[in-house]
Amino acid sequence: QKEVEQDPGPLSVPEGAIVSLNCTYSNSAFQYFMWYRQYSRKGPELLMYTYSSGNKEDGRFTAQVDKSSKYISLFIRDSQPSDSATYLCAMSAYRDFGNEKLTFGTGTRLTIIP
Amino acid sequence: DVKVTQSSRYLVKRTGEKVFLECVQDMDHENMFWYRQDPGLGLRLIYFSYDVKMKEKGDIPEGYSVSREKKERFSLILESASTNQTSMYLCASRTGLYNEQFFGPGTRLTVL
């Protein structure tokens, strides 16, 4: 079983819809969670970072963490065609341990239909 | 803003060639990473370095080596390229304090 599971999609939604992207994990030591956005043929860019259970909002994006269920989500409100990309979740057990590695999900490909 | 650059966006090499992929970051980050990304497999860590001249194997180091002679530069070396090394290669860096990683644009390598 993979430590981090993410539905690969593809996911297609109409412009303006609310998008929900999810990851589940099995390692209860994970405390820090990130979402990356990757446009086609580009490197991933950090979108959101959170370490506590609950919601964190940044513009149209909301990251949600439920540590009791080992489940994280990224919500995109008022989705735009420019949101079409692959979204990767990533997580780790520590924030400030020098050799700490990130564990990534495989990514969900999202297409917003105009 | 953090800037991570990679020497080539696209590269085509022949089987058996020695291949060098270069990565440079301009934020004085201590840690640097090399990943490969393949459909359905996601990002897999090849090697990482937490200091100059220091390196550690990641999850899939076979067939690769790395070099970090200067803090800002981390090179990935394919000693003898093979077709199963055709992939997207991504470099990342981060500070020694926090674990958010910042990625370069990637090098799409094709080995014929």
Picking from A44, A92, A101, the nearest residue to B45 by CB comes out as A101
Min Cα distance B8 → chain A (Å) is 12
Phi, psi of B102 (to 5 degrees): -120, 130
pLDDT at A8: 83
SS3 of B84, please?
Answer: helix
Say if the Cβ atoms of B45 and A46 lie within 8 Å. Answer: no
Nearest to B99 among A88, A95, A107 (CB): A95
**Would the CB atoms of B99 and A92 count as touching at under 8 Å?**
yes
B93 near B2, Cβ under 8 Å?
yes
Contact by Cβ (8 Å): A34, A49: yes
What does the pLDDT read at residue B104?
96
Residue numbers of chain B with a pLDDT score lower than 50: none
Instruction: Give contacts of B41 with chain A, Cβ < 8 Å.
Output: 106
Residues of A engaging B, defined by a Cβ cutoff of 8 Å: 8, 32, 34, 36, 41-46, 49, 88, 90, 92, 94-102, 104-107
Q: pLDDT for A90-114, tens place per residue?
A: 998 876 555 578 899 999 999 999 9
Burial classification of residue A95, based on how many CB atoms lie within 10 Å of its CB (0-12 exposed, 13-18 middle, 19 or more buried): middle
pLDDT, residue B51, reads 86
Q: Do residue B4 and residue A32 have CB atoms under 8 angstroms apart?
A: no
Q: Which amino acid is at A13?
A: V
pLDDT at A97: 56
Structure tokens at B110: 């094709």
Whole-number Å distance between alpha carbons of A87 and A11: 11
Residue B22 CB burial class (10 angstroms; 0-12, 13-18, ≥19): middle
Residues of chain A falling short of pLDDT 50: none
> Which residues in A1-114 belong to E strands, given as ranges?
4-6, 11-14, 19-25, 32-38, 45-50, 54-58, 61-66, 71-76, 85-92, 103-104, 108-113
**What distance in Å separates residue A47's CA from the closest CA in chain B?**
10
